[in-house]
Amino acid sequence: MRHSLLFISIFFVNVLQAQLYNDYIGAGHNSGITVTASNSVGSSTPAKTLDASGMDHKTFEASRFLAQSTFGANLDVIEDFKDNWEYERWIDSQFVKRLTLITPEMEAIWSEILSESDDPDNEFGPSAVQFNYAWWTQNIGNEDLLRQRIAYALSQILVISYNSDLSSWAESITSYYDILLEHSFGNYRDLLLEVTLHPSMGYYLSHLNNPKTNIAANVNPDQNYAREIMQLFTIGLVQLDPNGTPVTDLNGNQIPTYTNEDVAELAKVFTGLMGGGLEDWVDWKSDVDFGDNIGMIDKELPMVMHQPQHETVSKTFLGYTIPAGQPGMTDIQQAVDFLFNHPNTGPFVSYRLIQRLVKSNPSPAYVGRVAAAFENNGQGVRGDMKAVIKAILLDIEARSAEAMADPTHGKLREPMLRFAHVANAMPLYASRNRYWNNGFDFYEATRQHVMYSPSVFNFYLPDFRPVGDIATQNLVAPEFKLHNTSSSITYINRVNGWVGGVWFDQEQQQLNEWGSLFWSWHGSEEYGEDYVRLVFSELEPIADDSENVINELDRIFTHGQLSDETRQLMRTSLNGIYWTWGNPIEWRSHRVRSALYIILNSPDYNIFK
Q: Which of 144, 230, 139 is nearest to 185 (CA)?
A: 144
**481 and 339 inside one domain:** no
Which of 334-343, 492-501, 534-543 shows the lowest mean pLDDT across its residues? 492-501
| pTM for the structure as a whole | 0.90
| CA dist., res. 238 & res. 92, Å (int) | 35
pLDDT cut 90: percent of the chain above it: 80
68 inside domain: no
pLDDT higher than threshold 70 for residue 236: yes
CA distance 16 to 32: 9
Quick check: is 406 in a domain?
no
Shared domain check, 332 and 417: no
Sign of CA dihedral 432, 182, 180, 371: positive
Q: What count of Cα atoms within 13 Å lies in the side-chain half-sphere of residue 359? A: 26
Q: Rounded CA gap, 577 and 592, in Å?
A: 10
The answer to whether residues 474 and 567 belong to one domain is: yes
d(C-alpha 230, C-alpha 237), whole Å: 8
What pLDDT score does 7 carry? 36
Using alpha carbons, list the distances in angstroms from residue 115 to 110, 111, 119: 9, 6, 9
In the prediction, which pLDDT does 515 show?
61
Distance CA 73, CA 60 (A): 12
493 phi and psi, to 5 degrees? -65, -40
Which of 294, 309, 343 is the last residue in one of the domains?
Answer: 343
User: So what's the pLDDT on residue 584?
Assistant: 77
* Domain contains 165: no
Residue 193 confidence (pLDDT) above 50: yes
Decide if 581 is inside a domain. Answer: yes
The residues, any chain, with a CB within 8 Å of residue 519's CB and separated by 6 or more, are 437, 438, 441, 513, 531
In the predicted structure, residue 527 carries a pLDDT above the cut 60:
no
- Domain of residue 256 covers 188-343
* Residue 119 included in any domain: no
In a domain, 70, yes or no: no
Residue 50, pLDDT > 70, answer: no
Do 310 and 422 have their domain in common? Answer: no
Whether residue 484 sits in one domain with residue 339: no
Q: Does the pLDDT value for residue 97 go beyond 80? A: yes
CB of 487 closer than 8 Å to CB of 460: no
Burial 132-152 (b: 16+ CB within 10 A, else e): bbbbbbbbbebebbbbbbbbb
Burial of 293 (0-12, 13-18, 19+ CB in 10 A): exposed
Whether the per-residue pLDDT at 12 is higher than 50: the answer is: no
The predicted pLDDT at position 56 comes to 84
For helices 328-341 and 224-231, the axis angle rounded to 10 degrees is 30
User: What local confidence, expressed as pLDDT, does residue 523 receive?
Assistant: 62
Quickly list H helices, 321-414. Answer: 328-341, 345-357, 364-375, 385-394, 396-399, 401-405
Q: C-alpha dihedral over 361, 365, 366, 371, to 10 degrees? A: 120
Q: How far is CA 511 from the centre of its chain?
A: 32
One domain, residues 603 and 477: yes
Long-range Cβ contacts of 226-230 (<8 Å, 24+ apart): 226/263, 226/264, 226/266, 226/267, 226/269, 226/270, 227/263, 228/456, 229/192, 229/196, 229/266, 229/336, 229/339, 230/257, 230/258, 230/262, 230/263, 230/266, 230/339
pLDDT at 37: 62
> Cβ(212)–Cβ(268) under 8 Å?
yes
- According to DSSP, the residues that pair with 504 across neighbouring strands are none
* pLDDT for residue 47 is more than 90: no
Does the pLDDT at position 51 exceed 80? no
Sorted by sequence, the CB contacts under 8 Å of residue 251 that are 6+ apart come out as none
| Torsion of the alpha carbons at 334, 335, 340 and 343, rounded to the nearest 10 | 110
Q: What is the pLDDT of residue 39?
A: 55
The predicted model gives 527-544 an average pLDDT of: 84
CB atoms within 10 A of CB 243: 19
Mean pLDDT for the stretch of residues 162-188:
96
Q: Which of 133, 290, 148, 111 is nearest to 210 (CA)?
A: 290
Distance of CA 271 to the CA centre of its chain: 33
Instruction: Give the 3-state secondary structure of residue 274.
Output: strand
Cα-flanking dihedrals φ and ψ of residue 430, to 5°? -110, 120
Task: Give 506's pLDDT tier (boundaries 50, 70, 90).
Answer: very low
HSE (side-chain half, CA atoms, 13 Å) at 172: 29
Residue 380: pLDDT band with limits 50, 70, 90: very high
Does residue 569 belong to any structural domain of this protein? yes
Residues 586 and 451 in one domain: yes
541 upstream amide cis, omega within 30 of 0: no
- Residue 531 is predicted with a pLDDT of 82
Is 86 a member of any domain? no
3-state class of 178 per DSSP? helix
Closest CA to 341 of 385, 376, 382: 382
**Which residue among 343, 377, 404 closes a domain?**
343
Number of domains in the chain: 3
Parallel/antiparallel/unpaired status of strands 320-322 and 411-412: unpaired
Instruction: For residues 427 and 268, give the distance between their C-alpha atoms in angstroms, rounded to a whole number.
Output: 53
| SS3 at position 79 | helix
Tell me: do 335 and 425 sit in the same domain. no
Q: Which of 343, 376, 403 is where one domain is finished?
A: 343
Please report the pLDDT score of residue 26 as a whole number: 53
CA distance 363 to 347: 12
Query: What separation in angstroms does the CA of 469 have from each of 151, 405, 563?
Result: 32, 18, 21
Nearest to 540 by CA among 584, 581, 503: 584
What is the rounded distance in angstroms from the CA atom of residue 49 to the CA atom of residue 27?
Answer: 9
